[in-house]
Structure formats: C-alpha cells, structure tokens
Amino acid sequence: VSARRSGRDTVSFLSDYGTEDEFVGVVKSVLRQLARGAVVIDITHQVPPHDVRAGGLTLQRAAPFLVPGVVMAVVDPGVGTDRRAVAVEVERDPRLVFVGPDNGLLVPALDALGGRGRAVALADRRHPPGAGATFDGRDLFAPAAAKLCTGTDLEDLGPPIDPAGLVPGARPSPAPKGTGLATEVLWIDRFGNAQLAVGPEDAEHLGERVRLTLPGRQVLATRVATFAEIAPGQVGLVVDSWGMLAVALDRRSAADELGLAAGDEVVIDRSDADGGTSRQ
C-alpha cells in the first residue's frame, strides 16, 4: 500500500533530541527506509531535555496547524521502563494519529483537537544487534509511524487500550485572586514574549490597562493588537498567534527585562486595584 493511498504521507516530528547529535537524522533514516514516500516535517527538536510539560505545550500550540498524517512526539525520560508507548487517533479526524510515550506529552494536543479516538499500545520494538534499550525514537516510534504511513491499520500495531486512561498532561488554567486573576507563564518564545495560560476573554473585565504582579515586581501593562504598538518603555499585553495573552515589549525580550521564566506565577488585576507599588 503506498503512503499516499492511506492518506498518511506526512510525519510531523517533535522531540527533545536537539540537533547537535545524530539522533534526529537516524530516526529520519529509519523512516525513509520503512516508508520511502513519507515527508517529515520537523516541529522542533529543541524541547528542553526530558521536559514533558514543555513538549506537550509546544505540541498543543502546533496542533491546529498539523497536516493530516502521523504526529510523532518523543520526550521520554522513562524510555526503557514499563511506561506505555502508544498510538492514538484524533476522534474528529482519524487521518491524524499521534505516536509517542504515554507520559502526558500527547494528551494536551489530542484534547485541543477535540478528543481521543482509537488508541493502542505499541507492541513491536526493533532490537538493533548489540544496542541498548534507550532509543525508542529509532527502535519503536519510527517503525510504528512508518507502518501507519504504509497503510497498516492502527489496531495492527498492538492491543487496544482505553483512550480515557492515557496519562493526562499539564493543563494550567487561571484562577480568581482578589479582584484579579492568577495565571502562569506557559512559554517564553524566541523573541522573549511570555505567553500566559489565559485567553483574552478571561481577562477582558479587567480593562485595557492592567497591573501585572510578577515574581519580585509589579508593572502596568496595556492591551495592544501588535508588538509594534507597544511604546518604548511600555509593557504590552498582546493576543498572540495562538489566541493567548502574552507579556511583550517591542523588539526587546520581555522575559529578559522583566525576569520571567516558564512556570512563573503572574497575577493580572485592574490597574487601580490595591496591592502595593507599581512601576511605570
């Protein structure tokens, strides 16, 4: 069966392998040998090593844009243990199948896409002669992804499992705090913008100008539509490309200048709320 016939001729690939070593190239070599016609799209390989939460959030952000096909995601500190390896269809569009470890990495994206369809535990690990049991991207996930590209049905990859039983992922959600809203930094992007775990509608009632309580400081921030609207010296709160609120400066790194990191708590409040001195 050709890759094209099955409707799965693309493998979207995310990992924490980095690109300094040959890991990614070796996985792609395996894919190329087992599913010659499949095209690989690198989502990113620079998830911080072993950071399942960051990998899951990255995959969730990419999810609405993923091509029908296989999504292979590997951030897998438990490789070699008895954590399950799984393949899970997207319920609304079974042409899209996620393959990876069952450790919370896949679920945020699956749920963002509307929920989990059929799921199986992967059964067939390859064993290159002499090699250790520490590289499932090469020995387990890529062979499974290749099979899905060449027309193998999901259920031929291993025994069915209950999709409701998958290990859940990080799902931070905002909580009321005084007159405001406590949330956290989900992600610092390359430009230093700090994405918050809150959408614009959740904070709408707090007004166009808000007070942000960050670790160690308070700042006033202004709701803007684009980075370029942020005046020098001003802190912006922008609806970012994923529909979340992000703390941003114009052409400078908000994370660096405000000392923000993923996981930090941020409280958004009315600009005239009680609660200490404000800067700016």
Query: Which one of 123, 175, 228, 261 is in contact with a copy of itself (CB under 8 A)?
Result: 228
The structure tokens 């072993």 sit at 50
Query: Which one of 80, 165, 168, 259 is in contact with a copy of itself (CB under 8 A)?
Result: 80
Q: How far is the CB of 274 from a copy of itself (least distance, A)?
A: 31
Site for a copy of itself in 174-213 (CB under 8 A): 187, 189-192, 199
Give dist(CA 214, CA 247) in Å, integer: 11
Q: How far is the CB of 103 from a copy of itself (least distance, A)?
A: 11
103 forms part of the interface with a copy of itself (CB under 8 A): no
DSSP secondary structure of 48-117: PTT-HHHHHHHHHHHGGGPPSSEEEEE--TTTTSS--EEEEEESS-TT-EEEEESSSSSHHHHHHTT-EE
Residue 183 in contact with residue 197, Cβ under 8 Å?
Answer: yes
2 forms part of the interface with a copy of itself (CB under 8 A): no
234 forms part of the interface with a copy of itself (CB under 8 A): no
In three-state secondary structure terms, 158 is coil
DSSP 8-class letter at 44:
E
Count of residues making up the chain: 280
Which residues form the interface with a copy of itself (CB under 8 A)?
A: 10, 12, 14, 16-26, 28-30, 32-33, 39, 41-46, 49-50, 58-59, 61-62, 64-67, 77-81, 128-135, 138-139, 187, 189-192, 199, 225-229, 238-243, 250-251
